Structure 1
Amino acid sequence: MTVQDRRASLYDCAEHLKAETLQVWQTMRQQAQSCRDPLSRQLLEATILQHENLPSALCTLLGHKLGNSAISAQNLMDVFADIYHNYAAPLNAAAEDLQAIFERDAACPDLITPFMFFKGFHAMQTYRLAHWLWLKEKRYLALHLQSRGSEVFGVDIHPAARMGCRILLDHATGIVIGETCVVENDVSLLQGVTLGGTGKNMGDRHPKVRRGVLIGAGAKVLGNIVIGEGAKIGAGSIVLESVHAYTTVVGNPARRVGVRNTAMPALTMDQTLPPIDYII
């Protein structure tokens, strides 16, 4: 089957998709069909309504955003279609990311909005495609997508990093995630967050961010350290040591200012802190 055939028959992969993924697409189409403004309707037709399924719409959206003189939008769409045809995991993850954004972001009224306009969502899906290419030893193409994602969305995620599902990159501008990072499910990162190394050390050198962590705007988490499940990192913090689960840290260098029981701050997006007196 040619790449063009795969693009024409993308719905063949539906049997490998979760029911929730198919429901997300149906909800998006219903939301788009309810629009009555003529100019907005034209935009929705091109982005959503003319497509039969989520992979087709996502291929087109990302292809047009990432294409350039080196690799055209059409060629990228063919590459993405080939991936989605054979590999349902990034599609299921994309649907889960959309749902997570809708549930957590107060500025998100529906599923259409992040799909069409939120560069954090676009950057995550670019990473998911680049990661697949990296694992398939197509390293230069993966790095090309990383580079284009950084140029277009202002988000730099190394394709070798391991990212879970239901990830929210809120506003997203300036987020950097290094090569050996691990970010588990249900994590929320705000703009300007760095998950980086501490120098020129080789090997495993980047943070491991466990489930449910919330990292505030501008925070820098550096080194091969662990941010425990349900931890909260205050905005602007510099974190150089591991953080225990369900613990809040703030400051430069970051220090503990509170401990909770089981709350997942990434899900509530609660960035408030206990009464503290700390020095940055």
Structure 2
Amino acid sequence: MFPVTSRRHFSFSLYMLRSSSPHNHVLYSSSSFLPSFASSRSSATKDYRKSSSPPMAACIDTCRTGKPQISSRDSTRSHDDESGFRYLNYYRTGYPDRVSRAPINVTQTKTLHTRPLVEDLDRDAEIDDVWEKIREEAKSDIQREPIVSGYYHASIVSQRSLEAALANTLSVKLSNLNLPSNTLFDLFNGVLEEHPEIVESVKQDLIAVKERDPACISYVHCFLHFKGFLACQAHRIAHELWTQDRKILALLIQNRVSEAFAVDFHPGAKIGTGILLDHATAIVIGETAVVGNNVSILHNVTLGGTGKQCGDRHPKIGDGVLIGAGTCILGNITIGEGAKIGAGSVVLKDVPPRTTAVGNPARLLGGKDNPKKHDKDPGLTMDQTSHISEWSDYVI
């Protein structure tokens, strides 16, 4: 048994709880439950009740089912508020067995931005074939190589759309200590969602790489690992910001792409669709350059100017052009549709459509007056050597 003092204190606490609760009829079925001494409490206790703070806002009572519930003094409280109130009263931060909290690394910047896996069939029906193919390939790769499951899940499987996946991949690869990936993700994802035409160009670039580059084993391989593809998509975002006169952000992206991928596209340059940048290292494209559709460019190619003049000063590349490795095309000149520029060439003058220019300085195969022409787009065929036997006496 409790000492007398303890029993009185306990009984008095029960009485105070009963009198302050709007549900005292649940806690106590009759007043006979109270001890007899409660009716003879001193006047000092009465004064204490009059001067004390308002009754408790809520208490734990027992419903007819016998399960504890949270009852609120405010009968107008909404259901959501009651749910939140109930959660806050039962949640205990001091109990690690109920909630485990991982330590937060405040220095971490390369965050993989994951989104819930989309399982809704109606939503899947809206996803284009390329994105669906990427996801299927990612899941297949995870089965073959479980070690990549975390990387592939964060980069592809958990992403809700092609836009989100691309924004995530670019933000992770272009972030640094002073430029967090979550900031870049919000920027990239916002531009991609507002401009579906950019996303369509992304899809066409993926198809172009898969069809023309024999080293590309899958769409997901290109999407995650081909820096030429990634640099081109980052440029598309930067170019859109440039056209919106957000030049500071556009130039910032250009700088990070140059540092991360060794590819330098001025954000003012105009790039078409179906672009293949094979290997891509050391490709430089100037501010006023224009590149058409279905163009293939190999590594170490420069589309530059010839000096420090301002204005329109960079090359214009037509549709279906193939530019070989190590080529320099300088000045405000035009490379005609379907032309081919041999590796290591230096081009300073216009090249007619569907002709081949090779050498340093470059000259047309077949001569200036009657150049040989081809009927296929070399940007699609990737044929880089068929002209040699007719042009050169080089032998081994």
* TM-score, L = length of structure 1: 0.90
SS in 2 for 1:245: coil
Bigger shift: residues 37-46 or 218-227: 37-46
1:185-222 deviation line (CA, Å, top 9, x unaligned)? 00000000000000011100000000000000000000
The question of 1:111 aligning with 2:197 is answered: no
Question: Which whole-Å deviations, capped at 9, do the CAs of 1:141-194 have from their partners, x for residues lacking one?
Answer: 100000110000000000000000010000000000000000000000000000
1:236 aligns with 2:344: yes
Q: How well do the aligned residues superpose, as a CA RMSD in angstroms?
A: 1.8
Cα distance between partner residues in 2 of 1:177 and 1:141 = 18
Retained in 2: the 8 A contact 1:251–1:278?
Answer: no
What is the rounded CA distance, in whole Å, between the counterparts of 2:177 and 2:336 in structure 1? 43
Give the whole-Å Cα distance in 2 for the aligned partners of 1:261 and 1:269.
Answer: 13
1:69-119, Cα deviation, whole Å (9 max, x unpaired): 332111010111111221111111111100100000000111011101000
Higher relative contact order (CA 8 A, sep 6+): 1
Report the Cα distance in structure 2 between the residues aligned to 1:55 and 1:278, rounded to whole angstroms: 51
How far apart are the structure 1 equivalents of 2:159 and 2:197? Answer: 20
The one-letter code of the counterpart of 1:204 is D
Structure 1 runs, 4 residues or longer, greater than 3 Å off = none
Contact conserved, 1:126 with 1:149, CA < 8 A, in 2? yes
Q: Does 1:174 align with 2:287?
A: no
* Counterparts in 2 of 1:255 and 1:278: CA distance versus 1, 3 Å: farther
What does residue range 128-167 of structure 1 map to in structure 2 within 5 Å? Answer: 128-167=236-275
Is 205-214 or 68-77 further displaced after alignment? 68-77
Could you tell me which residue of structure 2 aligns to residue 26 of structure 1?
Answer: 132
Matched, 1:263 2:369: no
For the residue of structure 2 that corresponds to 1:169, the secondary structure is strand
Alpha-carbon offset, residue 52 of structure 1:
1.6
- Residues of 2 paired with 1:121 and 1:34: CA distance? 22
Where does residue 99 of structure 1 map in the other structure?
A: 207
Task: Work out whether residues 321 and 337 of structure 2, in 8 Å CA contact, stay in contact via their aligned partners in 1.
Answer: yes
Secondary structure of the structure 2 residue equivalent to 1:30: helix
Structure 2: 5+ residue runs without aligned partners? Answer: 1-113, 119-125, 367-371
Name the SS of the counterpart of 2:191 in structure 1.
helix
Q: For the residues of structure 2 that align with 1:74 and 1:104, how far apart are their CA atoms?
A: 34
Distance 2:393 2:350 in 1: 19
Paired residue type of 1:265: P
- 1:189 equivalent to 2:297? Answer yes
CA apart distance, 1:67: 1.2
Aligned match of 1:215 in 319, 323, 342?
323
Residue matched to 1:198 = 306
Aligned residues between the structures: 264
The Cα shift of 1:8 comes to 7.4
**TM-score, normalising length from structure 2?**
0.64
Matching residue of 1:15: none
**Larger radius of gyration, structure 1 or 2?**
2
State how 1:74-85 maps to structure 2 within 5 Å.
74-85=182-193
Matching residue of 2:392: 277
Identity in percent: 48
